[in-house]
Amino acid sequence: MTTTLPTTEQHYFTEEQYLALEETAEDKNEYLDGEIIPMTGGSTNHNQIAGNLYIALSLALKKQNYRIFIGDVRLWIAKVRLYTYPDVMIILGEPQYHNNRTDMITNPQVIVEVLSKSTKNYDRGDKFKLYKTIPSFREYILIDQTQINVEQYSKTENKRWLYSEYDEEDTALVFNSFEVEVPLSDVYEQVNFEEVEKDNNQND
């Protein structure tokens, strides 16, 4: 049995209402200060990229004091009252759980989002501002699924972020939070850009 959002004119939801709805919802939803926002479905490229990076980081950080989470683990940002599902999160040390629930964490050091056509502006702008309110947050990675392009923001000091861009397959994404380099060829392994072009043509 699945649960959908109420069709009445209710615009404000408590956290408890959101979490109850999310338990049986068919699709994932964000929660921002009382508003429930449906999330777009992931494409095969989106899933492939997130999985590729998860595997690469899991191997590179093996036996180190980091935890890596993908997809289904929810992030809670208390300062802005946001529940969301980043594509990949890396935590230094032990995860801090919200309300002792192991499906909700509060202390990511690195957040990775795979960009989609409908969410890329939000991920680069307003969502980044919301993420910046997390005390532990130090690095933000944005990966384009339509072409080889990775954007990286690394915190250098209070309210200062260093921007880097990677757009060649023979280069590597160099993380600043830990000594790891992931070749872009590994990030984009088995990603089919022709499928994206086909989808775009069908939607024109």
pLDDT tens-digit map of 30-62: 999 999 999 877 789 999 999 999 999 999 999
**Mean pLDDT, rounded, for 138-160:** 95
CA of residue 170 relative to chain centroid, distance: 24
Taking the whole predicted model, whether its pTM rises above 0.75 is answered as yes
Listed range (34-43, 105-114, 190-199) with the worst mean pLDDT: 190-199
What residues does 101 pair with on adjacent strands? Answer: 98
203 pLDDT band, cuts 50/70/90, is very low
Residue 202 pLDDT > 70: no
26 pLDDT band, cuts 50/70/90, is confident
Domain borders along the chain are 43-73+85-189
Q: DSSP letters of the chain? A: --B----SS-----HHHHHHHHHHBSS-EEEETTEEEEPPPPPHHHHHHHHHHHHHHHHHTTTSSEEEEESSPEEEETTTTEEE--SEEEEESSPPEETTEEEEE---SEEEEEE-TTTHHHHHTHHHHHHTT-TT--EEEEEESSSS-EEEEEEEETTEEEEEEE--TTSEEE-SSSS-EEEHHHHTTT--HHHHHHHHHHH-
pLDDT digits (tens, 9 = 90+) for 66-92: 999 998 899 999 999 999 999 999 999
43-73+85-189 folds as tt1808, chain A (3.90.1570)
